[in-house]
């Protein structure tokens, strides 16, 4: 298998390390670390010191040039900024390379899925939104959905404290994946750590998250672009936010679109705060809540809850390190080795077998999941 990792930031590095781990990723012959900043890619290749790994400069905004880089490789893992997703997918069509990557912040994801016929015609698989969240979150929702004959609601919740609405692709993907079971409501909420929220609020209150260009010294630039570039280049973006400054600013400042009673509804960003808990009756090993589903089994009302398993005595689960990059490594390998045979562009729930994904994660130290079904029989 030959895989390109486009974007050699933290998640890209996690993906590369997983691809090169022969204990969990056998059969990987070559990995190409591609980045607009070739020096960063070369430095990482030097640090890793694996002869199967090489570096190259690649521009995600130029699909024709990027296609030349991808040519001859089985799959690409796109870990650049979400706004480049369509450009990278066009390059895959030209190069004949399978595609996986992160989310498109809801609205762009629609456009990615609309490329289904193009990928199918090219005999290629496109698997966007296959990171941790979005991605693994949808896989766990599929585990719960498979237990229900009919689905009314699916709620994805991430974190261990007050969770708020944030713009994510999960609700839209859930509706597409489970429409045949009658889903009427799909929502996503996530916990934001105080050390993330406080600086973001300051940026917003000062107008520094605005995307409207202003003129400074004869040059027009938006405060958003300036601040994000400073945070990325100076280093605090990863340590404070955990990933791209632009991505977290976009999530924090854009209305969240949720599916409520069969209609799409926009909520103010960071609204609808609620605590994430499971009833104590379920025990201290219920794990970290991920998906809560409501529906019916053989006509009887039912609730299904899916959680990451915890170690004994610990309330909250810790996922394996680098879950976003590792998930995309797994998906890329599944496409490259023929485990995934569907052709076209699909949601995670349509293209990924939860059992196989969880088996792969277990090899990498994941503790597994716990699924609880509560059934109310008709009297």
Cα separation, 25 vs 48, whole angstroms: 16
On the question of pLDDT at 121 being above 70, the answer is yes
- Per-residue pLDDT, 159: 75
Q: What are the helix (H) ranges across the chain?
A: 10-19, 38-48, 63-70, 85-95, 107-113, 116-121, 136-145, 170-177, 194-205, 223-234, 236-241, 245-253, 323-336, 348-351, 354-363
Determine contact, residues 333/265, Cβ cutoff 8 Å.
Answer: no
Lowest mean pLDDT among 56-65, 266-275, 291-300: 266-275
Cα separation, 321 vs 77, whole angstroms: 18
Cα separation, 224 vs 172, whole angstroms: 27
Could you report the per-residue pLDDT of 198-221, keeping only the tens digit for each?
888 888 888 888 889 998 888 899
On the question of pLDDT at 233 being above 70, the answer is no
**pLDDT top residue among 285 and 212:** 212
Determine contact, residues 110/172, Cβ cutoff 8 Å.
Answer: yes
On the question of pLDDT at 309 being above 80, the answer is no
> How many other C-beta atoms can be found within 10 angstroms of the C-beta atom of residue 170?
32
Assessment of whether the complete model's pTM goes beyond 0.85: yes
On the question of pLDDT at 315 being above 70, the answer is no
Strands 263-267 and 256-260, by their bridges, are antiparallel
Confidence of residue 284 (pLDDT cuts 50, 70, 90): very low
Q: Is 320 helix (H, G, I), strand (E, B) or coil?
A: coil
- Which of 217-226, 352-361, 369-378 has the largest mean confidence? 352-361
Determine contact, residues 165/189, Cβ cutoff 8 Å.
Answer: yes
- Per-residue pLDDT, 254: 87
On the question of pLDDT at 280 being above 60, the answer is no
On the question of pLDDT at 278 being above 60, the answer is no
**pLDDT top residue among 45 and 376:** 45
Could you report the per-residue pLDDT of 166-204, keeping only the tens digit for each?
899 999 999 999 999 999 999 999 887 777 778 888 888
Mean pLDDT, residues 87-94: 98
Determine contact, residues 224/249, Cβ cutoff 8 Å.
Answer: yes
On the question of pLDDT at 368 being above 60, the answer is yes
In this structure, is the dihedral angle defined by the CA atoms of residues 143, 148, 151 and 154, taken in order, positive or negative? negative
Stretch(es) of the chain classified as CATH 3.40.50.720: 2-133+321-363
Domain 2-133+321-363: state its class: alpha beta
């Amino acid at each position: 298998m030959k895989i390109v990792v486009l974007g050699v930031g933290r998640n890209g590095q996690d993906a590369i390390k997983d691809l090169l781990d022969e204990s969990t990723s056998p059969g990987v012959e070559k990995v190409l670390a591609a980045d607009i900043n070739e020096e960063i890619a070369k430095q990482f290749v030097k640090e890793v010191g694996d002869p199967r790994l090489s570096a190259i400069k690649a521009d995600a905004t130029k699909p024709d040039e990027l296609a030349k880089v991808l040519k001859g490789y089985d799959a690409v893992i796109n870990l650049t900024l979400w706004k480049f997703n369509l450009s990278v997918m066009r390059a895959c069509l030209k190069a004949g390379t399978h595609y996986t990557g992160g989310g498109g912040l809801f609205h762009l994801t629609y456009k990615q899925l609309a490329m289904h016929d193009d990928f199918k015609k090219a005999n290629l698989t496109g698997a966007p939104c296959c990171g941790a969240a979005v991605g693994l979150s949808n896989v766990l929702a599929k585990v719960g959905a498979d237990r229900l004959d009919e689905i009314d609601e699916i709620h994805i919740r991430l974190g261990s404290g007050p969770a708020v609405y944030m713009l994510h692709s999960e609700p839209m993907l859930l509706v597409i994946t489970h429409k045949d079971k009658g889903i009427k409501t799909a929502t996503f909420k996530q916990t934001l750590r105080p050390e993330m929220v406080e600086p973001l609020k300051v940026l917003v209150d000062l107008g520094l998250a605005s995307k409207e260009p202003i003129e400074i010294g004869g040059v027009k630039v938006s405060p958003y672009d300036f601040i994000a570039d400073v945070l990325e280049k100076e280093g605090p973006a990863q340590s404070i936010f955990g990933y791209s400054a632009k991505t977290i600013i976009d999530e924090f400042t854009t209305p969240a679109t949720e599916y409520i009673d069969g209609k799409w509804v926009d909520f103010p960003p960071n609204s609808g705060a609620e605590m994430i808990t499971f009833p104590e009756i379920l025990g201290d090993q219920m794990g970290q809540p991920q998906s809560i589903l409501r529906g019916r089994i053989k006509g009887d009302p039912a609730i299904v809850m899916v959680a990451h398993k915890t170690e004994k005595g610990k309330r909250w689960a810790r996922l394996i390190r680098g879950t976003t990059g590792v998930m995309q490594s797994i998906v890329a390998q599944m496409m490259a080795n023929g485990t995934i045979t569907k052709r076209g562009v699909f949601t995670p729930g349509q293209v990924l077998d939860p059992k196989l994904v969880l088996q792969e994660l277990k090899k990498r130290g994941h503790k597994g999941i716990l699924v609880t079904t509560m059934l109310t029989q008709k009297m």
